[in-house]
Amino acid sequence: MKKEKNFLKTLGKQLATFKIVFLLLFNISIAKADLILPNTNYEAFDVVQIQLLALKNNDKIYKNSGIEQTWNFAHPNNKKITGPLDRFTLMIKGEGYKMLLNHIEHSITLVQSGDNWAQFEVTVLDQSKTYHKFNWQVEKYEKSGPLKDCWLTTGVSSPVSLGSSV
């Protein structure tokens, strides 16, 4: 009888743990489902806009969701340079790109484009009310697979400070 009670008590704890883990995983999967994935419906401008809005609202869905959203639209060749998501996150939070996180406003201007590439000038007003300019390049992915013909970011220049708005 005592063994049976211990077994039921242990089983109850395991089921409670399982429920908690399941709920956590379920909530994470719902949150990640809110991220936009590349598809052929998005034009070059749309991809840059999706990334900038995500970075502007970095922690809105969950912590660093904006960075992950931006990562989703990085070209595989770009990912080879920036490393995995953890390293990409450190790069975005570093001195070179942190002004993109939670910025106040941005503008996107097409500089030049071809059939499979486009270059934009992006201006961002950061939290300290300083403007920064970036060159943002996107290309259509040409290899086969789920990314075929999707616009993806191939490069973002280092920022150029344009000075303060105050």
Mind listing the pLDDT tens digit for each residue in 118-133? Answer: 999 999 999 999 999 9
For every residue of 132-146, DSSP letters joined together read: EEEEEEEEE--SSST
Consecutive 10-residue averages of pLDDT for the chain (166 residues): 53 41 37 82 98 97 96 95 94 96 98 97 97 98 95 96 81
For the domain that residue 68 is a member of, what is the CATH number? Answer: 3.10.450
Structural domain count, the chain: 2
pLDDT at site 31: 47
Tell me the one-letter amino acid at 120: F
Same domain? 145 vs 123: yes
Q: Closest Cα to residue 151, out of 35, 33, 34, 46?
A: 46
pLDDT of residue 66: 97
106: which strand partners? 124
State whether 89 and 147 are in the same domain. yes
82 with 160, same domain? Answer: yes
pLDDT of residue 4: 56
Residue-number span of the structural domain to which 25 is assigned = 1-33
Query: Are both 16 and 45 inside the same structural domain?
Result: no
Same domain, 51 and 89: yes
How high is the pLDDT of residue 27? 38
Cα–Cα distance for residue pair 16/21, rounded to 1 Å: 9
